[in-house]
Structure 1
Amino acid sequence: MPKTRIAVAGAGYIGQAHVGVVRSSPTCTLSAIVDPAPGAAALAAAAGVPHYASLEELISKDRPDGIVLATPNQLHVEHAMCCIDAGLPMLLEKPLAPTFAEGERLVQLVERSGAKVLIGHHRAHSPIMAKASEVVESGQLGRLVSVTGSATFLKPDNYYDDAPWRREPGAGPILLNMIHEVHNLRMLCGEIVAVQAMASHAVRGFPVEDTVAISLRFASGALGTFMLSDTAASARSWEQTSQENKAYPSYDDEDCYVISGTNGSLSVPTMRLKTYPRTEDRSWWKPFEQGVVGMVRDDPIKRQMEHFGAVIRGQAQPLVSARDGLANLRVTEAIVQAAKSGRTVEL
């Protein structure tokens, strides 16, 4: 069977990651790179594929089987609509839109048109997350009670110096980083129905936050707490614990989530499991049975690309639909609203 031809629009950091995995894919092949930036032509030449300055030029001259939209957030809706009009399946990077209102209109268009759209929440393709969700769903932990989570890490000063827009409203770790965590929490614990938040910019002093404490209520009645900071010298983040992205140093004595139920708890991603024996005599005076859940590690961006190819070929439905992406965006916006207002935001 011929390989599925996939173009990548956007030659930034995440676009280059997509280029790398599609070039090494056993089922897909890179057909083109789309980006008006000068460096994109050199990237396309190095990959041995054509370079186009716009989606319209790509579609008119060298239509692929599918496209990855790794373009700037503010262009996601415009570019997605262009691909829907052309009947072109897409992997649309998160967030699916800059705002919930724009995202809602886009989702309605996707659902009316029947477009094939996979949202780029790549951690949904992590085998660690799949195994953790399996443990929760199996009932080994009992009824879900709570989850504690963290994404605490230190971004260097040049992260902001190189892109000053990251200091301004519309950026900050809630909008840039928390949306990943929201999807993970929804996978593990179900739908989030209310949030509270307290934000600070005391360390960096930028208009946007650098640290946020978040409280969550899930539809099941379970509660959660989450600490987010991009100025904390800490390793309690997915990147620094999962070992999935080799660009980050990893620390196998750290976890970023602890999920607790009435019968036990699971720490992720070390997958340490503590449960009581299946008896009625359970209490904090009784010892846990302890173990580690077996699982594999693999690059979720690579697995996402294989899944996207299957979606294009009609062999699978999107694991992360446009409506899933909208739900993640809604929770992220609610956290921003809660931090500004000091009130509980019901979803």
Structure 2
Amino acid sequence: MPGDRVKKTRPRPRVLVVGFAGHQGTEYLPIVRESADVVGGVDPAPAASPLADAWGFPHYDTLGQALENVDFDAAVVTVPHSEHFPVCTQLLAHGRHVIKEKPFAVTEREARHLIHLAQRADRSVFTLLQRNFDPVFRFARENLARIGTPYWFSYDYHFNLAHPSTGWRASRERARGGVLLDMGYHLIDVLSGLFPEPEPPRVHSAFVHQYQEMRDRRLEDLVSLMCSYPSTGLAGSLRVSRHNYEKVEHLCVLGTEGALNVAPGVAVLHSVGGLPLERRTWDGPKTDVVRSMIAHYLGHLDDRYYRQGHLQSQLTTVRTIDGIYRDRSRERNKLADRCA
């Protein structure tokens, strides 16, 4: 009717899924399709072709083939750690946005190069980190100031796997690191969000191996970190492992006016004496968090302000982890020199 305002709807983004036949890729695929049109998939695994046929999109063994044949806006990338950098650089060189599994990059050098390419191409590189979209972690970020000045934190995250790592995570060449890079990336990203600092914290680390084959491959089964932030006086501990007696995640932050405790599904603010002041619970399915995360990133592909903040936060996380690994490498080299 005359005078009615016509509501314009944004076209659904066209997405290429890279590494879609793996565990993470098959988890994300149906959720990506809710907010985007999946126009192709790349995966050399034998299971990839029938899976693509079942979902109704063309399948390619290599990214180069897909870039030659498919027109798309963004790629959702779920590949082993060793493949992240070459896949992302190729996508950015062809002017495509990237939404990828962690880590953003393995080394600080790779991270800075990706940021340079993203800025030059005017494209986003977003990292899939679910805790940033989890309601209890959001509650923690929004209410952290209520505990006064934080002075201590402890963060534990453990799996209870009964056997050594398998698949690409058991390969030094493909995993590029052990639990610190794999599981610990999530935790250090959370801490970087809660305690933003211009420089990474000072870290003392202990790497532990339950299985001899993992020691031989230099893939830690457990890492323990002691962190300090000189500019604020904050300190804390972080422990991550794959072979604990139970699966657990627990973050505790102590402040001058109270405490904050976060565990899966619940966050609690406490007074100085320990009295619970406010509790936030959430018992929704994991898929709801994933759905919110992917929809958010797809909706912000062209948001340069949001993009810049995300890139800088990921650089901080990568710098912290890369610095820990480089310190361990220097210690190992010194020990080898003494023993020579």
TM-score (norm 2): 0.82
* Cα distance in 1 for residues equivalent to 2:293 and 2:305: 12
Aligned AA (2:188): V
* Cα distance in 1 for residues equivalent to 2:192 and 2:262: 14
Deviation at 1:230, TM superposition (A): 1.3
Match of 1:312, SS state, is: coil
Match of 1:32, SS state, is: strand
Aligned AA (1:262): T
| 8 Å Cα contact 2:82/2:173 also seen in 1 | no
- After TM superposition, the structure 1 = structure 2 runs for residues 52-131 of structure 1, keeping only pairs within 5 Å, are 52-131=60-139
1:9-58 deviation line (CA, Å, top 9, x unaligned): 012111222212112x2x32322211122211111112121112222322
Match of 2:300, SS state, is: helix
| 8 Å Cα contact 1:197/1:342 also seen in 2 | no
* Cα distance in 2 for residues equivalent to 1:30 and 1:66: 10
Q: Structure 1 stretch 125-134 or stretch 288-297: which is displaced more?
A: 288-297
Match of 1:31, SS state, is: strand
Aligned AA (1:216): C
What's 1:5 paired with? 14
Match of 1:109, SS state, is: helix
What's 2:311 paired with? 322
Task: Rate the CA distance shift 1:97–1:48 in 2: closer, same or farther, 3 A.
Answer: same
What's 1:263 paired with? 257
Match of 1:118, SS state, is: strand
Q: 1:20 aligns with which of 23, 30, 38?
A: 30
Aligned AA (2:207): A
- After TM superposition, the structure 1 = structure 2 runs for residues 184-223 of structure 1, keeping only pairs within 5 Å, are 184-191=190-197, 192-201=200-209, 203-205=210-212, 206-207=214-215, 208-218=219-229, 219-223=231-235
Aligned AA (1:21): I
What's 2:337 paired with? none
What's 2:151 paired with? 145
Aligned AA (1:111): Q
Residue identity (%)? 23
What's 2:293 paired with? 304
What's 2:246 paired with? 234
Count how many residue pairs are aligned between Structure 1 and Structure 2. Answer: 310
Deviation at 1:163, TM superposition (A): 5.7
Aligned AA (1:335): I
Q: Structure 1 stretch 296-305 or stretch 262-271: which is displaced more?
A: 296-305
What's 1:180 paired with? 186
TM-score (norm 1): 0.80
Match of 1:321, SS state, is: helix
| 8 Å Cα contact 1:308/1:318 also seen in 2 | no
| 8 Å Cα contact 1:214/1:335 also seen in 2 | no
CA RMSD between the two structures? 2.6
Matched, 1:290 2:296: no
* Cα distance in 1 for residues equivalent to 2:246 and 2:175: 25
| 8 Å Cα contact 2:18/2:75 also seen in 1 | yes
Aligned AA (1:34): V
What's 1:274 paired with? 270
Higher percent of residues as helix? 2
Match of 1:49, SS state, is: coil
Show structure 2 runs of 5+ residues with no match: 1-8, 333-340
Aligned AA (2:221): D
Match of 2:223, SS state, is: strand
Task: Rate the CA distance shift 1:342–1:271 in 2: closer, same or farther, 3 A.
Answer: farther
Q: Structure 1 stretch 51-60 or stretch 170-179: which is displaced more?
A: 51-60
